[in-house]
Amino acid sequence: MNAAALLLLALAADPAAKAPSKPAAPAAGMTERQKTVYALGVSAAESFKVFELKPEEVAVLSRGLSDALNNKPLKVDMQTYRPKVNALAQKGFVAQSKALLARYGAEKGAVTTATGLVYLEVKPGEGAKPGPEDTVKVHYEGRLPDGTVFDSSRRRGDAASLPLDKVIKCWQEGIQKMKVGGQATIACPAELAYGETGRPPTIPPNAALVFQVELVGIGAPGK
């Protein structure tokens, strides 16, 4: 994922997920436009968290932003360093994904399967379990390792009907563990989700994903 895509992803991030835990301090002396531009900087900062920058590196980043935005001569050859930026981002995504799977795997009641999927029952169901060729009706919310919501049927207000043999491997495995009426958290290794290619611009390459899933119902096989 390139730097522009990272920024777009940050700006599209879930507002609720990124809301500060404390009330915002008053922006004394700032115009409304300055406040908006400041908010742009805060939003853009989300895209840089994957790099785990040190304080002294933030200063170097600021110099790069300033030089580029002000059309000043650049200090590095971008043909050489743009691929290195992307490689550094990929390294960060892989580290975030490993940490996410380890965190969910350590939850009480979590089961890590042979494929690396982490399954955590939130609410037991009482109905039937779906088979591998069934069509399931589900409510779900999907998040990236940094907490960004990338898809949510609940936000759309309509449960999704999906054939299990056409969805990502993580869902094929995880949803078959559920009973109708049940709810579960399913943490998916990248190789069971969108793998090395991701799903641009929403899902980065090599990203683990977390889904909150409710199995609403089961249709007939192939329906």
Cβ neighbours around 9 below 10 Å, total: 22
Q: Which amino acid is at 162?
A: L
121 burial level (CB within 10 Å; 0-12, 13-18, 19+): middle
Cβ neighbours around 159 below 10 Å, total: 17
**What does the alpha-carbon distance between residue 187 and residue 208 come to, in Å, rounded to a whole number?**
7
- Active-site residues, by number, are 140, 150-151, 168, 194, 211
The CA–CA distances, whole Å, from 66 to 62, 70, 80, 160 equal 6, 6, 20, 45
The CA–CA distances, whole Å, from 69 to 12, 72, 218 equal 22, 8, 53
Of 130, 207, 141, the closest CA to residue 176 belongs to 130
Are 184 and 74 in contact by the 8 Å Cβ rule? The answer is no
Phi, psi of 144 (to 5 degrees): -80, 170
